[in-house]
Amino acid sequence: MKVSIIGLGSRGKNYGTHLSKMQDVQIVAVCDKYRNKVDIVGKMWGVAENMRFTDENEFFALGKVADVMVIATQDRDHYSHSKKALELGYNLLVEKPLSPIIEECLELEKLARVKGLKVLVCHVLRYAPYYRKIKEIIASGILGEVKEIRHSENISYWHYTHSYVRGNWRREDTTSPLLLAKCCHDADLLYWFTGSKCKSLSSYGSQSYFNHANAPEGAAQNCFDCKLRTTCLFEAEYQYCGRKTLIGRTKPKFPWGTYAFCQSADKKDILAALKTGERGKEFARCVFHCDNNVVDRQTVMMEMQNGIICTLTVDAFNDKNHRHTEIRGSKGMLIADDSHSVLTLKLFDKAAKRITVNPLAVLKGHYGGDQGIVKAVYNILNVDGDYPGYTWIKDTVESHRIVAAAELSRAKNGEKVDMQTIPDII
């Protein structure tokens, strides 16, 4: 199976690395606007020098040179890149979200359907053994009739400030709302768990903390110029390199985030990039003096067509990244927290039962979901069979519709939105 990849940030590099390790898979062309990223992965994956591009027009001018294209560019680019690739005849693996504009999502779904091409969207949690076990338990009927699901996406403060205050996904007008950029995974899980589309919803959210009004007195625009830097939770050197103390240096909070602005793991190079690099200086800005406008907390309350009530909550005020899920049925409840590999099943009038999912899978990217979706791409192109639970574009459109409705409700201060008003697949 031959593969082309456009977009070599953390997601594109991750999928490409998994693909490059598979037998019978060859990555034949790559494209990213940053030359150093192209050359690093090109050498790593054995891509010929004349097939490494920094100009997307030249990349697409190649025509169809592979069986599948991985599209892992920025949110607002997914639509145009996917459309070009489909018109060339490519099967696709597209990083989520498809597009913040629901009409563009529907156009891509129709184009793929008309051309008979296969498109998977990277809602990778469906492929994780942890979440597949939850789906299996629900489907078994042991919980009785499912009545309510409470699901929360807890973003660590250091991940949130990196990606949604200083980083690529900080502005709704140039990327996507937080609910789409971070939580279309979660909306997709709720659709998958319930087996039902959403009937109506209401949503509330705001940019409550990471704004100018909450800047401490005396806070500078840049971390390296700030008199508060030795105590600030969000200070750039502390985030990416650790902090000097009287007894040594603390561990960094977000060491792998440096890939966004520096291709070296050396602390001197990282600090130099933060202080003087065109890209790196963006990640040294004070988190209270950036141009971000995405929410830092949001709640969506949904009634599904089959009567199940779902609550989806996301916020930035956590020490660690984790998702917490409670599924309540007529015969008992299931409690899941993906910070560990154990599910707790509590059936009425019975002792709680602990169900352990392969702990090694929990430690892998997206709890094993990244590896799972890469295998899925290979399967659908090379192995005959039916693949229930795969994230086909026609199925993942529903998560984007839910987000579109939630953003409409949030803009109207929580007004109820009927999903019939949101465009759907025809």
In which residue ranges of the chain is CATH 3.40.50.720 found? 2-124
Asked if pLDDT for residue 364 goes beyond 80, the answer is no
pLDDT tens-digit series, residues 134-147: 999 999 999 999 99
Asked if pLDDT for residue 267 goes beyond 90, the answer is yes
Can you list the pairs that 40-44 forms with residues at least 24 positions away whose Cβ atoms lie under 8 Å? 40/263, 41/8, 41/13, 41/16, 41/17, 44/17, 44/20
Q: How far apart are CA 320 and CA 339, in angstroms?
A: 8
Classify domain 2-124 at the CATH class level: alpha beta
Share of the chain above pLDDT 90, in %: 91
Q: Is 357 exposed, middle or buried (0-12, 13-18, 19+ CB in 10 A)?
A: buried
pLDDT tens-digit series, residues 175-191: 999 999 999 999 999 99
CATH topology of domain 129-210+293-361+392-421: Dihydrodipicolinate Reductase; domain 2 (3.30.360)
b/e for 60-81, b at 16 or more Cβ within 10 A?
A: beeeeebbbbbbbbbbbbbbeb
In which residue ranges of the chain is CATH 3.30.360.10 found? 129-210+293-361+392-421
Q: Check: pTM over 0.75? Answer yes or no.
A: yes
pLDDT for position 363: 56
